[in-house]
Chains A and B, each alone.
Chain A
Amino acid sequence: MTGITGHNIFCGLGFGSDEVYSRIRAGESDLGLHDSGFALPEPFYASLVQRDEIERRFAGLPDTCQMTAFEKAMVLSAADAVAMSGIDPSAEDTLFVLSSTKGNVELLESGMERPDGRMSIWSSARRLASFFGNPNEPVCVSNACTSGICAQIAAFRAISSGKFRNAVVVGADFLSRFVVSGFQSLKALSSERCRPFALHRKGLNLSEAVASIVLSSDTAGIGISLEGGAIRNDATHISAPSRTASGQIAAINAVLEGKPGFDLAFVNLHGTATLYNDSMESVALHTCGLDTLPAVSYKSIFGHTLGAAGVVETIVSALSMLEGVVFPTPGYGENGVPYELSLSDRFRKISGTGFLKVMSGFGGVNAATLYKLIR
């Protein structure tokens, strides 16, 4: 058994999973319009991590390698999750796994022609691991928007191989002129709060977050175990999902295979609120016979936090599973996908002993992970 033993979310709503969870439980969201952010010509809808909050929390901690705000936020998040888990982060059998799509890409704004070591994601991961005195080369996963659960899958496999007892999975992405303008050029952003699966959805909201999960062998931890995961490509297009949802269907079937009678309580969808992603997910769930299962997307609460999304959303799903509820999907009104899913605008009590998490991303990649409630 691989259990979640520690976790942290650091986002625009606050620091620490408990604080963030209680605020979203009360219906709060930090999504809002940012005018002239990153000196961009067009406003964008997002939630940002306060940079002065990072510095305030980091003050007094040793910074021997002049970390960027992005790296300091990762250290703070990982430290909180590690403290909760009680593991030794410097042990040889502890592995750090980083999920990030763009890392320190903001450094490019200083006009560098060749990237130096600072910009590389692996070097951010090294700074993170070395802060904790960990001797292992960290694993860095870059699988677009699915990275957050692909990193958990990598951690799960590393633990299953027997070499590691604990893995600290950190998902982190900050916004920048680079990232926001890129999504603007793809016409993928909504100018208002996003509305997953809704008829009038207009695209996604980008956001920032750093989140950490500690996975440990032979324990149920907080009472949620990671049962496994699967990654599948739909081999259709580099930026658009397959209309037949072939990759997502294959990932879901693979993760549920060999688990007859697994009592799913709900499914946490990717639900970015783009036209094609949400339609694809509805086709996938319908084909897998899961369209009546309670479903939720957190994108209209947190926005799409890119490399952090899979970690943030797993934590919220785990905490809501422990509480016995499934979250509402704010902004969902009239169904706008080919097969209507079981989404709601209010909290629902759930029965069942596990949840499914699915994500999909650029590069045709689809991923699914399965979690079980251990009493």
Chain B
Amino acid sequence: MESLSYQLKEQIIDALNLKGMTPSDIDGDVPLFGDQGLGLDSIDALELIVILEKNYAIKLTDPAKSKDILKSVNSMVSYIEANGKF
């Protein structure tokens, strides 16, 4: 599902104002949060939840569960493939 991953990265770049970044700059396996990778914060996490809701009809309500899903682009892709509409 290269295309889903690419599309998701584009949506992340757009929603989080990651200026100057392209999908190829984001490694699908690298953690989105913390010091490595994109270094996203708690508001970014909430914005990722909006991306899933808006584009893939996925509603995340359990914050503890969200953490694993939002770990990386690839973990989000797996979840979308299993649960989303795309």
Q: Do A and B come from one complex?
A: yes
Chain A residues in contact with chain B, CB under 8 A?
A: 185-187, 237-240
Q: Is the CB of A237 within 8 A of B41?
A: yes
B3 within 8 A of A: no
Which residue of B is nearest A238, CB measured? B43
Min CB distance, B33 to chain A, in Å? Answer: 13
CB of B27 to closest CB in A, whole Å: 25
Does the CB pair A185–B50 fall under 8 Å?
yes
In the complex, B46 has a CB within 8 A of chain A: yes
Which residues of the other chain, A, contact B42 by a CB distance below 8 angstroms?
237, 239-240
Give the secondary structure class of A's interface.
loop
Neighbouring B residues of A238 by C-beta, 8 Å: 43
Q: Mark B23-52, 1 if CB is under 8 A from A, else 0.
A: 000000000000000000111001001100
Contacts of B43 in A (CB 8 A): 186, 238-239
Given A187-B46, A187-B49, A237-B41, 6 extra CB contacts under 8 A:
A185-B50, A186-B43, A186-B46, A238-B43, A239-B42, A240-B42
Q: Are A187 and B41 in contact (CB under 8 A)?
A: no
- Using CB atoms, name the residue of chain A closest to B61: A187
Closest 7 CB pairs of A and B: A240-B42, A239-B43, A186-B46, A187-B46, A185-B46, A187-B63, A237-B41
Q: Contact string, B44-86, partner A, CB cutoff 8 A, digits 1/0?
A: 0010011000000000000100000000000000000000000
CB distance from B15 to the nearest CB of A (A): 12
Whole-angstrom distance from the CB of A170 to the nearest CB of chain B? 31
Among A186, A187, A238, A239, residue most surrounded by chain B Cβ atoms (within 10 Å): A187
